[in-house]
């Protein structure tokens, strides 16, 4: 594992507003997110020992935000891997195209929200790590 983020991946500090009544994070279009949002989905009720992901996208850009609980995201650009703990609801992780990613270490209360710049397209997925490596290293 390395400790350098792959190209197209970095942590984003989201703006928190609030007072003694509580906190709020608003995520708007291209203000906080480096792309237009076309799809939102979230992962929840994941078994603590589950490992999810195991794919890359040819063109999709994503922002993953742990709105509750925590998990670990492994990012792989074909040359190195980095493990990133996601445990702050006001910090999101961008995942650019051609980044193999795996999610693990889910807390029992984890809700991982993902914003994406395109609608679901199975043709954009690379589900074979060997194929990913061949494409990433060309």
Residue 76: closest CA among 50, 104, 95, 52: 95
Give catalytic residue positions.
55
Helices (H) and strands (E) in the chain, counts: 2, 12
Query: Residue 15 gets which letter from DSSP?
Result: P
What distance in Å separates the CA atoms of residue 30 and residue 137, rounded to the nearest whole number?
Answer: 30
Contacts of 83 (CB under 8 A, 6+ apart): 1, 72, 73, 74
DSSP 61-75: -EEEEEEES-EEEEE
Q: Both tokens of residue 124?
A: 């954009």
Q: Both tokens of residue 119?
A: 């609608």
């Amino acid at each position: 594992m390395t400790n350098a983020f792959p190209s197209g991946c970095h942590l984003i500090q989201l703006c928190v507003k609030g007072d003694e009544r509580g906190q709020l994070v608003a995520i708007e279009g291209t203000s906080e997110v480096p792309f237009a949002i076309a799809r939102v989905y979230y992962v929840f009720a994941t078994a603590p020992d589950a490992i999810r992901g195991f794919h890359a996208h040819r063109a999709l850009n994503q922002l993953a935000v742990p709105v509750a609980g925590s998990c670990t995201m492994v990012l792989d650009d074909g040359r190195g891997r980095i493990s990133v703990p996601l445990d702050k609801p006001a910090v999101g992780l961008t995942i650019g195209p051609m980044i193999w990613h795996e999610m693990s270490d889910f807390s029992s209360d984890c809700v991982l929200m993902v914003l994406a710049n395109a609608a679901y397209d199975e043709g954009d997925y690379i589900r074979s790590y060997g194929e990913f490596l061949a494409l990433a290293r060309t």
